[in-house]
Structure 1
Amino acid sequence: MSASNNTDLEQVYREMEEEAVRHTRIALEHMKEYGIEPEGEVRPFLPPSERNEEIKRLPYEHETRQVVTYETEPGEFSALCPFSGLPDFGTLRIEYVPGDWIVELKSLKYYVVSWRQIGAAQEDLTPIIFQDLMKHLKNPEYLVVETEYNVRGGINTTCTIDSREQ
C-alpha cells in the first residue's frame, strides 16, 4: 500500500472516530435530558444514518403467492446500546408476501451486519429496518419486521411492526 493510500485510510478512520464521538456525545446529552445517565464505561458508536442502506432486490415473476421469511441466527444481528456502547445481540425476523420484488440475500446480510457499529435503542431499530425494507420491496402484500433481543437485566425485549396493522 502506498504512503498516499495509507494517509487516505488514516483520514477516513479519523473522520469515523470523530463522527462516532460526536454522535455518542449527542446521544448521551439527549438521554441526560430525561434523567438517564450511563453507568460504567461508555464506548463510542455511530448514528443510524451510517448503516448500509443498500438492499438489492430481484423481480418476483410468479403469480403464486408465497410467504418469504428470513431469520438471523443468534449473534448475527447486533447493534450497540446507546447508554454503554456495548452490543445488544438479537434475532431479526423478516416476513413478507412479495409484490413485484424479493430481497437479494447477500445484500440483506451486508445490511444486517452494518448495524454492528450503530448505537440506537432497541425500539428505534425496528421501525428503521421496516422502512428500509418497505422502500426496497415497494409493494409487498404485507411486511412484518420483528427484533427479539437477548435478555438483559431479566427483561426480554421483542419489537414487531406489521404493515397490516399500520
Structure 2
Amino acid sequence: MSRTPTWLLACLTLVIGFALARVTGVRALGAVVLLAGVGWCLAREVRATPWWRLAVVVVVGAVCFVASHVLADRVGAWPSVLLCSAALGASTALLIGGRRRVAQPAGRPGWGRRATEWLLTYVGPAQIGDPRRPARAATADERAREEELRTTLVREVGPDGTTYLVERRD
C-alpha cells in the first residue's frame, strides 16, 4: 500500500466516506473516514512536502467537501462526489506530486546556497552603517589589520561547500 499515490488516497477518502455514510445512514461514520483519510495523507507526506502545500491541500479538500454538498442538488449525489473527488485528486497531484522527492546529497549544497554564494562574489557581505553617508578613508591601523589578515589567513572550501578562513600553512 505504500506505493499508492497520495492523490489517489485523497480521492478515495471522499468517495469511501460518502459511500459509508450513504449505506449506513450515519453521516458521522463518513466524517470519521474523512478525518482518517486526511490524517493518513498528512502522515505520509509530512516529511517530504512543505507545510504550506499540505495546508493548501487540506483547504482544497474542505472546499471540495462543501462543493460536493452544494452540487448534489443540481447534478445528483454520486456525480457531485465523483466530480469533487476528481478535483481534489488533481489538485493533490499538482501540489504534492505523484513521485517521491529525494533528499539533497549531504556533500553538495542546495541551489539556494549556491546562488547566495555566487551573489556574494559581486555584492559582498552585508555592510553595517548608513550607505548614504560618504565613505571615510581607512586608518593606518585598519590597513595594517587588513594586511595582517590577508597574509596570515587563507580561504578554503570544505567538502560540504562551506567556505572557511584558516591560518596559512607556509
Q: Report the TM-score range of the alignment, normalised by the length of the smaller protein.
A: under 0.3
Q: Which has the higher helix share?
A: 2
Q: TM-score, normalised by structure 1?
A: 0.22
